[in-house]
Structure 1
C-alpha cells in the first residue's frame, strides 16, 4: 500500500476583493465582491513507503496548500487523500503521532527557553518513553552536531542552528512521514549542506517517507530521485528527476577547448555563446542537433577537448515556470453578493 495516496484533490478559497477609492468602499457596505482562488486543482499522485520526493513549483503554485491538506491543517474542497491509511483532515490522534510538518518560516520552539525545554514538552505531548526520548535526542543531536547548544536559549542561536533544532523537535517522536516545506530557506551554504547531509543519512537509516518542497535545487539534487512539479495548482510532471531536462529543456551545453590560446571566430552560427575563457568556450545548442553540430565543429576547428552537458536544473525549471506563469483569468473566478 502506498504511504501517501492523493486523488483529484482540490482546494479553493473565497476571498473578498477591495476596490480602490472611497466610493468603492461605500458600495462594498451593500454589495461585496469576492474572488474564488483555486489553490489546488485536481491533484493526484502516490508515494511509496520510504520514498523521498521533491515537490516543486513557483510561489503560489499550491505546494504549501497541498502539504497543509496532507497534514490535516485544512479541509479540501473536493477529492480524497490518505496518508498511512488515515484521512488527514479527520485528524485522528493516531495519525498525528505518525507524521511531522517542518516549515522553514515557522517556529515551533519557545523563543526565550533552551531548545531542551521544548524537546521535553514534545516528550510529554507525544508520550515518548523517557529511555527512548534520551536515545533519540542523543542520536539527533549527534547527527546535527548541536549537543552543546540544546541548553542555550533559542533566541541566541543562529538561523542555521535554530533550523537544526526545529528538525530535532519534528523527529523526536519518530514519525513515519515527514513533510518538509523550505527547510533550508535563508540558510548559508554551510548550513544548507549540513541539513542536506543530515536528512539524507537520517532518511536512509529510518526509511522515512518524505515530501520536500524547496526553491534550492541543490537540496533537491542532493536528496531526491523523483520530482513532482506543480504549477497553477496542477501537476505538470511526476517522474524521475533526471527526466526534467529531457522533457522541458530544448537546449544542451557544449564545452569546447581549442588548441592554442585563442577562441576562433564564427562559433555563433552553431549556437549561443554563454561563456568564454580562452581557449575554452561554452555553447548553448538545440538538443536535437547535437550530433550534426559536433561533427561540424570537429571537422572545422582544432579542438583538443569537448564535452556535452545538460543545462543546470535550476535554470530549466525556472524557465518552465516563467513560460507557464498563471494569469488572473485561469486562477481566479469572480463571485459577488
Structure 2
C-alpha cells in the first residue's frame, strides 16, 4: 500500500535564550544575548500508509507535538523532508489544509463564547464547502458524534467530552484524508474517553480516514491503534505493532490498594509480585501478568484484606521506554520491529 505520509530524516532545533538570575542578569541580557540549542526532534524517519491508525507516544518533551506540527506545516524542520498526501507541508500548507484535519486537545479551535454551530458555519466558508454538501455533511457528523442537544450552546458551557466531540466535527467538515489528533482525551473521564475512542475507530473503519494519534494514555493507543511509534528525546525508540509492544513490554501492571486497616505489607503468597510502595494504609505492587492473571491477584487481595479502594494502572510510558532501552542493550544483535 502506498505511503500517504513520508517523513525522511527530519530534525528540529530550537534556540533558547538563557538569562542569568537576578536584576544583574536581566540588565545584562538587554545588551548581550546568550542562547543554547535544543534538539526537539533528532533525525527521525517513518512512513504511514493510507488507512492506518498510528499511535505516536512518548513522555513530555519527547518531540511528539513538534513532529505533528511539522507534518501539518505549522513548524519548519531544521533539516529533512516531509511529504503529506503529495504536498510539502511547509511550501504548500494552504493546499494541505484542505486535505487534513487537526485536533489539539489543549488548544481549542472553537470560539469559546459562541455556540459550536457558529464555528462550523465559519469553517464551511473557509473550506469553501458548497452549502448543500455542507448541510448534509454536518447532519451526518452531528448524528455520529451525538451532539444534537449542545451545538447551539456556548462552548464554555460544554463538558470536556462534548467540546472535544465538537472539535472533531470542526476538523472533519471538509472530509479530510488524514486526521492528526494531539492528546484528544486529555482530562476526560473514563466514559468520555471510551466514546472518543469508539468514534476514532469508526471514522477509520467507515470513512477510511488515516489517523495519527498522540497520547499519554496507553489505553487510548491500545484500543485504537494497530501500529505504535514511541519517541523519546527526539528519537524513535520503537516502531512496530501495538500487539508487539504489549507482548514485549506491557506484561506487567501496577495495582494501587488502599486498605481500611493498618498493614505493614501485602502478603499474597505469589511469586513475581513486587512491592513498589508500602504505607500504613496505601500499598502499590507490580505484577507480571504473564505469570499471574490480573483477576487472580485482585481476587486474592480482596479476599485477604479489608479493601477501601483499588486501582489497576499501566506502567508509566517512561518505564516502558526504560525497558525498551534495557532490552536493546541486552539483545544488541536482535532485529527490532
- Under a length normalisation based on structure 2, what TM-score does the superposition of the two structures give? 0.77
1:237-281 CA-to-partner distances (Å, cap 9, x unmatched) read 00001211444458699xxxxxxxxxxx8946x433569xxxxxx
Structure 2: where are the runs of 5+ without partners?
255-266, 277-284, 293-311, 326-337
Pairwise CA distance, 1:109? 1.3
For these two proteins, the number of residue pairs brought into alignment is 285
Pairwise CA distance, 1:216? 1.4
2:6 aligned with 1:5: yes
Residue 29 to residue 274, structure 1, CA distance change in 2 (3 Å): closer
Are 2:216 and 2:317, in contact at CA under 8 Å, matched by a contact in 1?
Answer: no
Q: Residues 251-330 of structure 1 correspond to what in structure 2 (within 5 A)?
A: 267=269, 270-273=271-274, 284=287, 314-315=314-315, 317-321=317-321
1:12-34 CA-to-partner distances (Å, cap 9, x unmatched) read 01110112123333433443221
Pairwise CA distance, 1:138? 1.1
More divergent stretch after superposition (22-31 vs 104-113): 22-31
Q: Give every structure 1 segment of 4 or more consecutive aligned residues whose post-TM-superposition deviation is greater than 3 Å.
A: 245-253, 265-268, 282-287, 321-325
Partner of 1:24, secondary structure, is helix
Q: Residues 106-145 of structure 1 correspond to what in structure 2 (within 5 A)?
A: 106-145=107-146
Alignment correspondent of 2:225: 224
* Alpha-carbon distance in 1 for matches of 2:316, 2:243: 12
Residue 167 to residue 266, structure 1, CA distance change in 2 (3 Å): closer
Are 1:217 and 1:313, in contact at CA under 8 Å, matched by a contact in 2?
Answer: no
Are 2:124 and 2:134, in contact at CA under 8 Å, matched by a contact in 1?
Answer: yes
Alignment correspondent of 1:235: 236
Alignment correspondent of 2:260: none
Structure 1: where are the runs of 5+ without partners?
254-264, 276-281, 294-311, 326-337
Are 2:252 and 2:286, in contact at CA under 8 Å, matched by a contact in 1?
Answer: no
Q: CA RMSD in A?
A: 2.7
Alignment correspondent of 1:198: 199
Alignment correspondent of 2:40: 39
- Under a length normalisation based on structure 1, what TM-score does the superposition of the two structures give? 0.77
* Alpha-carbon distance in 2 for matches of 1:179, 1:202: 13
Alignment correspondent of 2:75: 74
Pairwise CA distance, 1:84? 0.5
1:21-75 CA-to-partner distances (Å, cap 9, x unmatched) read 2333343344322110111000100000000000000010000000000000011
Are 1:245 and 1:313, in contact at CA under 8 Å, matched by a contact in 2?
Answer: no
Pairwise CA distance, 1:190? 1.4
Relative contact order (C-alpha < 8 Å, sep 6+): which is higher? 1
Alignment correspondent of 1:15: 16
